[in-house]
């Protein structure tokens, strides 16, 4: 596709055909050479055809092919006249990341890394279809879907500070369990507190580098500090909700006269009964995901105290922040100098709200939102901070991770004859995994260079580098 360079880190797809707005990609010159022939770029242009889209159809530097929308895609729609698309959120609704840190340093845990890895793997259920020890009643599940993180804390899985340091305080408004299918509810009953499979993980790491001392201090991060990073989502419940509504909205498009360049972009007007039902079901899945990550963090804290033989005070493991990646949210943004109420889709993208934004808790008003960018399990992850430029250019959005360069099939082929766990061990990283093909599918070579991705959003001003975290122990599904 034709790509017009706007500046060092930004490239435009000019409007053509039935595109309602231009497309815009954030990438380095080296990345754009690879992306120019990528089908994901076509998906950015396809999204620009949808009714009610405003501004531009966006893609972050971790862009890769997805269902309908590219992963790494951002698009905003007029709340009154636009549409919501299940494919613009994705199957793993509110797949997200949380970061906790406390008083421990690498020296405190280095002699016990192997035992930590084994105990975490034993205590945290992982893998496809995994179920946990927490069995919900139907009444409890309804409360999880409507209350989100607050339910987890009232059940003893954390503390009030965890809620304050979670995006949207761990609860998306408008959740209605009545619009969730029986099959989705059934899948959610036994999977709370489980990691799942694929790229989901629990990771013990250490802060290897600080880039912005002032912001790092506000985030309570210091060099050498032990961290816990958790990446998981809404499990089978969220997957089923997406699947249910994709099937439903696919039948709606032709009936409503919506012309789509790709049937995977099926959608519903936000103000229609179908649009409202999807958003209410999506909110249920988002709340389930926040509870899931809250329980996973609580169990990880317990494992650390058990293995190290210490109490909560010595551990001091507090939640820095929790961010979601796959979501559609009602937000206010300036578009062409005019304040508009929008439905912002972020699929494989992270919110990047700048300093002073009213939705941020008091701890982060001066710094902007903490942003958590996990890399592959063999290199590093990053902590960033939100910026005003993101608010004006990308609807307050930035990248969400490294982004795949190899499909899972291609990664398996490339890993033949290699012992990925041994390669990681040689780098000082202990890994435990469940699925037979997990390490092959998730090997570091399957992902883009996380540092290059982060350097693009930092250079473009969409977020600011704060710290780099090196993995020490990784638990994969």
Percent of the chain predicted with pLDDT > 70: 100
Considering the four listed CATH numbers 3.20.20.100, 3.40.50.800, 3.90.1860.10, 3.40.80.10, the one that applies to the domain covering 4-476 is 3.90.1860.10
pLDDT exceeds 90 at position 295: yes
β-pair partners for 227: 101, 205
Give the pLDDT confidence of 206-227 residue by residue, as tens digits: 999 999 999 999 999 999 999 9
DSSP 215-276: HHHHTT--TTEEEEEEEE--HHHHHHHHHHHHHHHHHHHHHTT---SSGGG--EETTSHHHH
Give the helix/strand (H/E) hosting 153: helix 149-154
* Two structure tokens written together for 246: 């994709």
How do strand 96-105 and strand 268-269 relate by DSSP bridges?
unpaired
- Tokens 């578009």 sit at which residue? 335
What is the SS3 assignment for 381?
A: strand
pLDDT for the residue 252: 82
290 pLDDT band (50/70/90 cuts)? very high
Give the pLDDT confidence of 351-382 residue by residue, as tens digits: 999 999 999 999 999 999 999 999 999 999 99
Give the pLDDT confidence of 252-265 residue by residue, as tens digits: 877 777 789 999 99
pLDDT for the residue 61: 97
- Tokens 């017009």 sit at which residue? 4
pTM of the model: 0.96
| Helix ranges, 326-415 (H) | 388-393, 408-414
pLDDT for the residue 435: 78
Other beta carbons within 10 Å of 477: 23
The Cα–Cα gap between 1 and 459 comes to: 24
Residue ranges per domain, the chain? 4-476
Alpha carbon of 105 to those of 83, 110, 208, 227, 405: distances in Å?
48, 9, 11, 9, 34
The Cα–Cα gap between 149 and 168 comes to: 10
DSSP 170-203: G--TT--GGGS-HHHHHHHSS-TT---STT-EEE
pLDDT exceeds 90 at position 200: yes
Residues carrying an active site annotation: 400
42 pLDDT band (50/70/90 cuts)? very high
Dihedral sign from CA coordinates of 141, 143, 145, 147: negative
How do strand 463-476 and strand 430-432 relate by DSSP bridges?
parallel
Phi/psi region, residue 50 (left: phi>0; alpha: psi -120 to 50; beta: rest), is beta
The Cα–Cα gap between 368 and 374 comes to: 19
129 pLDDT band (50/70/90 cuts)? confident
- Tokens 């002073």 sit at which residue? 356
Other beta carbons within 10 Å of 358: 7
Query: For the chain, how long is the longest CA-to-CA vector?
Result: 65
At residue 247, φ and ψ (nearest 5 deg) are: -65, -40
Residue of 26, 23, 28 lying closest to 13 (CA atoms): 23
Give the pLDDT confidence of 59-92 residue by residue, as tens digits: 999 999 999 999 999 999 999 999 999 999 999 9
The Cα–Cα gap between 419 and 328 comes to: 40
Over range 28-55, report the average pLDDT. Answer: 93
Give the helix/strand (H/E) hosting 73: strand 71-78
Alpha carbon of 254 to those of 44, 250, 290: distances in Å?
22, 8, 35
Other beta carbons within 10 Å of 24: 21
């Amino acid at each position: 596709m034709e790509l017009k360079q706007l500046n060092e880190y930004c490239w435009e797809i000019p409007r053509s055909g039935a595109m309602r707005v231009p497309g815009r990609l954030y990438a380095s010159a080296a990345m754009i050479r690879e992306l120019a022939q990528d089908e994901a770029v076509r998906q950015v242009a396809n999204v620009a055809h949808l009714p009610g889209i405003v501004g531009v159809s966006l893609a972050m530097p971790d862009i890769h092919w997805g269902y309908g929308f590219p992963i790494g895609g951002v698009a905003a729609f007029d709340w009154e006249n636009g549409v919501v698309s299940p494919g613009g959120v994705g199957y793993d609704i509110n797949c997200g990341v949380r970061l906790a840190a406390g008083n421990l340093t690498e020296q405190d845990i280095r002699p016990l890394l192997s035992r930590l890895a084994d105990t975490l793997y034993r205590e945290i259920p992982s893998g496809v279809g995994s179920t946990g020890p927490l069995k919900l009643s139907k009444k409890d599940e309804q409360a999880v879907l409507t209350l989100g993180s607050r339910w987890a804390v009232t059940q003893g899985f954390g503390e009030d500070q965890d809620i304050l340091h979670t995006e949207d305080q761990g609860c998306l408004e408008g959740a209605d369990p009545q619009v969730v299918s029986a099959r989705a509810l059934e899948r959610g009953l036994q999977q709370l507190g489980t990691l799942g499979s694929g790229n989901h993980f629990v990771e013990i790491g250490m802060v290897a580098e600080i880039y912005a001392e002032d912001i790092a201090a506000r985030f309570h991060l210091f060099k050498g500090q032990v961290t816990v990073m958790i990446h998981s989502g809404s499990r089978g419940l969220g997957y089923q909700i997406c699947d249910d509504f994709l099937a439903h909205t696919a039948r709606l498009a032709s009936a409503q006269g919506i012309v789509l360049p790709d049937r995977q972009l099926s959608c519903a007007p936000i103000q229609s009964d179908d649009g409202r039902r999807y958003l209410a079901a999506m909110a249920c899945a988002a709340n389930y995901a926040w509870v899931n990550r809250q329980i996973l963090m609580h169990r990880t804290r317990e494992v650390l105290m058990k293995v190290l033989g210490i109490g909560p005070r010595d551990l001091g493991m507090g939640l820095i922040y929790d961010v979601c990646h796959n979501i559609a949210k009602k937000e206010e943004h300036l578009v062409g100098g005019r304040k508009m109420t929008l439905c912002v889709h972020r699929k494989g993208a992270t919110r990047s709200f700048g300093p002073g934004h009213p939705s941020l808790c008091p701890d982060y008003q001066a710094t902007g939102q903490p942003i958590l960018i996990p890399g592959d399990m063999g290199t590093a992850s990053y902590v960033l901070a939100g910026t005003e430029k993101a608010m004006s250019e990308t609807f307050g959005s930035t990248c969400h991770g490294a982004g795949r360069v190899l499909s899972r099939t291609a990664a398996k082929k490339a890993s033949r004859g290699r012992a990925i766990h041994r390669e990681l061990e040689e780098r000082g990283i202990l890994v435990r995994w469940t699925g037979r093909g997990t390490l092959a599918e998730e090997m570091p070579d399957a992902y883009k260079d996380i540092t290059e991705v982060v350097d693009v959003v930092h250079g473009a001003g969409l977020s600011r580098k704060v710290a780099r975290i090196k993995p020490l122990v990784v638990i994969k599904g």
